Structure 1
Amino acid sequence: MLNPIPFYRTLRETDPVHWAPEVHGWFLTRHDDVMNSFRDARFSANRVSLMEQQLQGLDPSLLEHFTGNIKLQMMMYDGRDHIRMRRQANPSFTPQALDSWLPAIRRTMHMLLDRVQKDGQMDFVPSVSYELPPRVIGELFGMPQEEHELLLQWAAPIAEFGGLTVGMDVVTMAKKADTAMKEFAAHMTALAEKRRHEPGQDLLSQMMHGHDPRMGPGMTMEELVANAILMLNAGHMTTTDQLSNLIHDLLTHPEQLRLLQQDPKLLSAAVEESLRYRPAVPFHYRIVGEEMQLRGKTLRKGDVVFMGIAAANRDPAVFSEPDRFDITRDHLHQKHLTFSFGPHHCLGAGLARRELEIALEVLLQRMPELRLDPERPPRHKCSSLIFRGFDSMHVRW
């Protein structure tokens, strides 16, 4: 669906807890329901059993490394195990820690623009938004530049398999995702072993050596590797799509772009408004842990619930004129849910915000005449519930 916003509005107004037999799951579309479901322990993040059900019929050996890794990632845990893993990663994502990486983000963005500046045109998606996030993560892990290409090669098939849609060759994509996960895990294991004996200031070293044993057991080596991979994959496609969405939002709202160019202090506000207006991940999903009632509907144990972030972000009960893109909006009092909410609030939200702000700042400084290419219209990526962005977006300057 190219523009699902009217459909979200209809559900929000007429059936905010909607059963969709096509996907055998519930859809929540009101801001308070989505926010409350994120912090309600009865909605479980442990989706391993669902993932295994979805892969029934495939030879388990096809996804041995993929599923084995996913099962160890903190996003699949609730309660104590989730807290245990997240606590060990938290120090690497404090504002102070993230600010130390600002020069690396800026340097990477300039490098990407150096490649295309003289051309006067580019496809923004492959040239910038697809390249920036994994290269920044590579910097955070202390990986040399020549290894950043490997990150791109591994991240793509893993992300594509995670966003499977009807009509795709599941077996072929499963093989590619499993091979990528196997190679990625082997590389990160070797890097972790090196950091064990030769720690540095990188994110992996901080995770390995910053754990306080007084807080309980830390992550195993396998869990460290799995969650390092999670950090790349979670930060790759989401920030890639959000950066493309941000640039498209501004270029299609020229009066807002002029406001930003006249007042650069609106930079962070522009990022927040794009996060609200066009989130890269329109839905998160959870599993009902025990039978419950919600707005007169019975949600049974094991049911899948899709929390409609994109719908909640346009709820008029929270946002005035929600369908208007407005970078002067009061985001302190009108909270979007793009980075989730509660215990599973996105660990990398601070990093994503810094990447988006610096990318936008550098782009507008170097290409103040940036505009969409009228001869080659953008091609939306809208074939999955999980990711929403652009497959292609040609620009000129």
Structure 2
Amino acid sequence: MTDLNPVSPENIRDPYPLYKELRDNHPVHWSEVVHAWIITRYDDVVACFRDPRLSTNRLNFYSFQLQGSDPAIAEDVLGVLSKQMAMKDGIDHLRVRRHASQGFSPQALDAWRPSIRRIMTMLVDRVHAEGRMDVVSHISYQLPPLVIADLMGVPPEDRGLFQSWAKPIAQFSSPTVGVDMVEVTKQANRAMQEFKAYLFKIVEERRHHPGQDVLSQMIHFQEGGGMSMDELLSNANLILTAGHVTVTDQLTTGLHNLLSHPDQLQKLREDRSLIKSAVEEMLRYSPALPFSVRIAKQDIQLHGKTIPKDSVVFLGSASANRDPKVFPDPDRFDITRDHIHQKHLGFGFGAHHCLGAGLARRELEIALEVMLDRMPGLRLDEDSPPRLKLDTLFFRGFNSMHVRW
């Protein structure tokens, strides 16, 4: 019998048997362990992403984790999160997203391809002569923050700062199983205070000396009344944080998928036109964010179950991506799969579809291209097995993954 505890060590290590059991027999499942409803079938997850009765305002979710604690310890971090587009619904969400998204059009992002390739080439140059590396520390932990900082116009000498701030904030948003939430919250709150003060300084400098970067465009819309100063700072924080946390995990996980399936790796080596479909299959097969969190604004009926008002709901994108009713032979990693007619949910769905999806795709494509070009014998290091993250339900990735070439 399958253990239905989503945070058991076995299910964190390999969640897909659990997802299958839930899809087949418990598509709307109440988990007492995580105190949330879990939705796992593709059609249901898509319907829930569309359902206006499910809110993205997750402040109650964070408050539940802090029940019994002094709310003041989270004042700054919750204040910023509450003004981010990812926490807004309806018209408020559309307004802020529209003003923040100008720099993320396909045309705008294509202009940054040379910058992404330059950064990736620099990272490979640093380790190429060694013949081996840890992908996590040498590539995936470095590339996304450098790219998003370039996109936002963050000075090169400051780019390490927001990495140090993003980690405790991400830990607060998606906490590790069993952590001391009071201590996590204090660290996140302190990081958010420093992050916001830093962004305020950068915004004021950029206001007088605008550039072509995304932050300059956001400031232009803020000055025109499109958003408040607090919204500008909060959403710049969101882009800088979310713009690299998930891509870090997705890059390593996707590369592991490829190196673990030598027949698919060989196909890509022989036909580089498959690079885009390879990236889509990586996003489908092992998305870095297995779940999206929503809050029920009223009672919702689904498959004979009642999801009560104010309940936390986990939308299982990773499970939906393996639904055999949508993806034939879903547990097979196949870089030639048809992703035009079978849309994976690796970046969510609907109004809150990930703003940075286009940037992430370009980073993944270029990273793969550069590594395959420069490291023709790329393979997993048999002497240093990869170490999965085994302490969180929300991020799917590795603590280390050693390769050779």
Indicate whether the TM-score tops 0.5. Answer: yes
The residue type equivalent to 1:334 in the other structure is: Q
- Aligned equivalent of 1:316: 324
Name the amino acid aligned to 1:6: P
| Counterpart mapping for 1:46-85 below 5 A | 46-85=57-96
Please tell me the residue identity of whatever aligns with 2:130.
Answer: D
- Structure 2 gaps, min length 5: 1-10
**How far apart, CA to CA, are the structure 2 residues paired with 1:374 and 1:46?**
45
Q: Which residue of the other structure, out of 250, 259, 282, is the alignment partner of 1:251?
A: 259
RMSD: 1.4
Structure 1 residue 104 and structure 2 residue 115: aligned? Answer: yes
Amino acid paired to 1:46 = N
CA distance in 1, matches of 2:209, 2:290: 41
Deviation at 1:50, TM superposition (A): 2.2
Q: Does the 8 Å CA contact 2:290/2:394 hold for their aligned counterparts?
A: yes
**What is the match of residue 307 of structure 1?**
315
Contact 2:102 2:214 in 1 (8 A): no
* Mapped partners of 2:68, 2:94: distance in 1: 34
TM-superposition CA deviations, 1:19-40 (whole Å, max 9, x none): 1111221111100000110011
SS of corresponding position for 2:101:
helix
The one of 17, 24, 38 equivalent to 2:49 is 38
State the distance in 2 between where 1:18 and 1:230 align. 30
Amino acid at match of 1:135: L
Partners of 1:271 and 1:353 within 8 A in 2:
yes
CA contact (8 A) 2:246 2:395 kept: yes
- Within the alignment, does 1:224 sit opposite 2:232 as a pair? yes
Could you tell me how far apart the structure 2 residues matched to 1:324 and 1:240 are? 23
Give me the whole-angstrom Cα distance separating, in 2, the residues matched to 1:292 and 1:172.
35
String of CA shifts for 1:295-347, please: whole Å, max 9, x gaps: 11111111111101110000000000000000000000011011111111111
Query: Aligned match of 1:281 in 275, 289, 306?
Result: 289
What residue in structure 1 maps to residue 6 of structure 2?
Answer: none
1:294 aligned residue: 302
Verify: 1:116 aligned to 2:127, yes or no: yes
CA distance in 2, matches of 1:205, 1:11: 46
SS of equivalent to 2:348: coil
Say whether 1:241 aligns with 2:252: no
Q: After the TM superposition, which of the residue ranges 323-332 and 86-95 deviates more from structure 2?
A: 86-95
The amino acid of 1:82's aligned partner reads H
Deviations 1:338-360 (Å, cap 9, x if unpaired)?
Answer: 11111111111001101110111
**Equivalents in 2 of 1:292, 1:374: separation in Å?**
50
Residue in structure 1 matched with residue 147 of structure 2 by the alignment = 136
Opposite residue 311 of structure 1, the aligned amino acid is S
What TM-score, normalized to structure 2?
A: 0.95
Tell me, in whole angstroms, the C-alpha distance in 1 between the residues paired with 2:324 and 2:364.
26
Which amino acid counterpart does residue 78 of structure 1 have in structure 2? D
Deviation of residue 384 (structure 1)? 1.4
Question: Relative to structure 2, which stretch is displaced further, 255-264 or 143-152?
Answer: 143-152
Contact 1:131-1:152 at 8 Å conserved across structures: no
Match of 1:363 among 364, 371, 394: 371
Distance 2:183 2:316 in 1: 30
Deviation at 1:110, TM superposition (A): 1.1
Match for residue 138 of structure 2?
127
In structure 2, C-alpha distance between the alignment counterparts of 1:58 and 1:102, rounded to whole Å: 46
Residue aligned with 1:50, SS: helix
Structure 1: segments with no counterpart, 5+ residues: none
3-state SS, counterpart of residue 377 of structure 2: coil
What is the number of residues matched between the two proteins?
Answer: 394
TM-score computed with the length of structure 1 as normaliser: 0.96
Q: CA deviation at 1:172?
A: 3.1
Task: Give yes or no for contact 1:42–1:288 (8 Å, CA) kept in 2.
Answer: yes
Identity of aligned residues (%): 57
Q: 1:204 aligns with which of 174, 191, 215?
A: 215
1:210 CA drift (Å):
4.4
- CA contact under 8 A between 2:85 and 2:235: conserved in structure 1? yes
SS in 2 for 1:384: coil
Q: Is the 8 A contact 2:284 2:344 kept in 1?
A: yes
Aligned to 2:403, the other structure's residue is in SS state strand
SS at match of 2:22: helix
